[in-house]
């Protein structure tokens, strides 16, 4: 008799030094359902999925896939058992075609020797057509949008016979239109008999897509609920253990003088290609300018130029009316610019340093943290203890290494450091990427507090809900240019999504007083 569950995990336990990542976790996923797993950073979701897929061995517990027990399995064993995993960061070769990427490592062959390219193309085309993926087997990956790249990743696991799919944060870099298209595909897969597990921080998506939801906190399961019988507020409470403010209370902006003005900015990449072209923008004191765009359309490069991490090829950057184009990162910081980088581990922290040391980075060479070139460790530690208390950093230990903290607490270290000292301009790039709902609430409130204290805030985010919630004005980047600018209360997600894919043809005006309004006319490409 066929098993009722596609996945059964019993008593899964996994410990690391000083951390019990999974504490006797039970998970049941029914055949043919879409099952969401939610929880804060450090709740144990990723560890549980790594154990399921065979990337990490458990200390204790039992796993069954469709009734068959897996013992000390590896990813190759999981794949043979019908399990496929689509990772948050795609694993594709840009210079190969869709078909070549899908069959890579599992190529069909003629007489067991020669790769049968025609058969590969035919199989990929059949899978694409069967589930409505609309993929061209002969197109190169480097020419695809992020949404289409994700479809290639899903076809890869289906090609290998997956009946159970794990998707890790599948909508993190998609436009609203691409999210809707993905949901259509996932529902079609479910109707075809596939079982889908997806991990996400977006509770709206959980309610819309999932059949059932498993909630985790502190390494344990706190509840399993039917998605149709719960609310975002209930899920958030189960995740965090308290009521969470899901809506940001934002007073109208009181904009002052222009703090940052960018004129005709251009920059080139490593191969001499243009990554920024003729970018104009301005931000005033006491307002948030949100920059929306699909990943890879110049947002990262814009932030790097503004913070001194990349040289401008042309144009100028004016801070308080003074030309700061080409200044070093330290010189720009000393002029009152704070920066929350998009990659907190590579650019925001020194993971081997203590929390106390990380909390003074960028100011460590100045009083009261340094005197005559010698660090004053007592002053650094005292300063850290104060910021830890004010920002509820966990664990509340200034001497612990930053690399041992959860993702959410690492982000809170950066936010606490960058907000300290009353900056005049805050450049926040993907400030809530990969952090849990409690840390998102903290970051959002902090950004608005900074705005209300008179700072100019440049917010770059792939999360449209974040852009629309926090921004007073919204600029959209596509192909290294700003293609449209809107008042935040006069634009919807669909229109922003069209602009993000280059399909916006409405008229956006930008007057010298900074008042920018968009006409409602939209024509899809």
Q: Which CATH number characterizes residue 11's domain? A: 3.40.50.300
Q: What is the DSSP string of 324-350?
A: -TT--HHHHHHTTEEEE-S-IIIII--
Q: Are residues 454 and 350 in the same domain?
A: no
Same domain, 432 and 514: yes
CB-based burial label for 22 (10 Å; 0-12, 13-18, 19+): buried
Would you state the pLDDT for residue 44?
A: 87
Of 215, 240, 265, which marks where a domain is finished?
240
What's the pLDDT score for residue 434? Answer: 65
| pLDDT score, position 275 | 92
Rounded Cα distance, 144 and 135, in Å: 10
**Are both 329 and 478 inside the same structural domain?**
yes
Give 10-residue mean pLDDT values along the chain (525 residues): 80 88 96 94 85 94 93 90 87 92 88 83 90 90 86 93 91 79 93 93 90 94 96 90 74 91 93 90 96 89 96 96 95 95 90 96 90 92 94 88 84 92 92 77 90 96 88 95 91 87 64 34 30
- Structure confidence at residue 245 (pLDDT): 64
Q: Are residues 215 and 254 in the same domain?
A: no
Q: Are residues 139 and 217 in the same domain?
A: yes
Instruction: Give the count of domains, the chain.
Output: 3
State which of 240, 264, 283 marks the end of a domain.
240
Q: Do 476 and 431 belong to one domain?
A: yes
If we measure between CA atoms, which residue out of 393, 418, 390, 391 comes closest to residue 405? 393
Distance CA 71, CA 59 (A): 12
401 has which bridge partners? 354
Cβ-contact 208, 214 below 8 angstroms: no
Q: What pLDDT does residue 524 have?
A: 29
Tokens of 256: 């002052």
Q: Say what the pLDDT of residue 83 is.
A: 95
pLDDT of residue 509: 42
Which one of 205, 222, 240 terminates a domain?
240
């Amino acid at each position: 008799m066929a098993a009722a569950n596609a996945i059964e995990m019993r008593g899964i336990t996994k410990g690391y030094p000083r951390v019990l990542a999974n504490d006797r976790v039970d998970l049941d996923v029914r055949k043919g359902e879409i099952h969401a797993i939610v929880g804060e950073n450090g709740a144990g979701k990723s560890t549980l999925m790594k154990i399921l897929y065979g990337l990490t061995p458990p200390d204790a517990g039992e796993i069954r896939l469709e009734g068959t027990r897996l013992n000390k399995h590896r990813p190759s064993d999981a794949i043979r058992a019908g399990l496929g995993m689509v990772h948050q960061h795609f694993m594709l070769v840009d210079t190969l075609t869709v078909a070549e990427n899908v069959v890579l490592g599992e190529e069909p062959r003629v007489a067991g020797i020669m790769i049968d390219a025609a058969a590969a193309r035919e199989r990929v085309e059949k899978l694409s057509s069967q589930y409505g993926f609309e993929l061209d087997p002969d197109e190169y990956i480097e020419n695809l949008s992020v949404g289409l790249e994700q479809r290639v990743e899903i076809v890869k696991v289906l090609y290998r016979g997956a009946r159970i799919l794990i998707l890790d944060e599948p909508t993190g870099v998609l436009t609203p239109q691409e999210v809707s298209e993905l949901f259509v595909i996932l529902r079609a897969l479910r109707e075809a008999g596939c079982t889908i597990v997806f991990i996400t921080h977006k509770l709206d998506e959980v309610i819309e897509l999932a059949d059932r939801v498993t909630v985790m906190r502190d390494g344990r399961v706190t509840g399993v609920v039917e998605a149709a019988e719960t609310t975002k507020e209930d899920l958030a409470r189960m995740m965090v253990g308290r009521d969470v403010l899901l809506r940001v209370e934002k007073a109208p902006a009181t904009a002052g003088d222009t703090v940052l003005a960018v004129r005709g900015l251009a920059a080139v990449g490593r191969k001499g290609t243009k990554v920024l072209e003729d970018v104009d923008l301005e931000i005033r004191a006491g307002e948030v300018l949100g920059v929306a765009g699909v990943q890879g359309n110049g947002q990262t490069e814009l932030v790097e130029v503004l913070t001194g991490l990349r040289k401008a090829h042309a144009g100028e950057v004016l801070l308080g009316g003074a030309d700061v184009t080409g200044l070093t990162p330290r010189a720009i910081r000393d002029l009152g610019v704070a920066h929350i980088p998009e990659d907190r581990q590579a650019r925001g922290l020194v993971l081997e340093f203590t929390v106390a040391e990380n909390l003074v980075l960028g100011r460590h060479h100045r009083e009261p943290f340094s005197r005559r070139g010698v660090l004053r460790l007592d002053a650094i530690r005292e300063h850290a203890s104060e910021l830890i208390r004010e920002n509820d950093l966990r664990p509340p230990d200034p001497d612990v290494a930053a690399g041992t903290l959860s993702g959410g607490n690492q982000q809170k270290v950066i936010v606490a450091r960058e907000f300290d000292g009353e900056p005049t301009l805050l450049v926040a790039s993907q400030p809530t990427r990969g952090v849990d709902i409690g840390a998102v609430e903290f970051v959002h409130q902090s950004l608005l507090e900074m705005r209300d204290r008179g700072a100019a805030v440049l917010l770059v985010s792939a999360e449209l809900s974040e852009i629309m919630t926090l921004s007073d004005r919204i600029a959209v980047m596509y192909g290294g240019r700003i293609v449209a600018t809107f008042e935040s209360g006069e634009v919807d997600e669909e229109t922003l999504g069209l602009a993000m894919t280059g399909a916006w043809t409405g008229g956006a005006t930008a007057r010298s007083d900074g008042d920018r309004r968009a006409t409602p006319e939209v024509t899809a490409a």
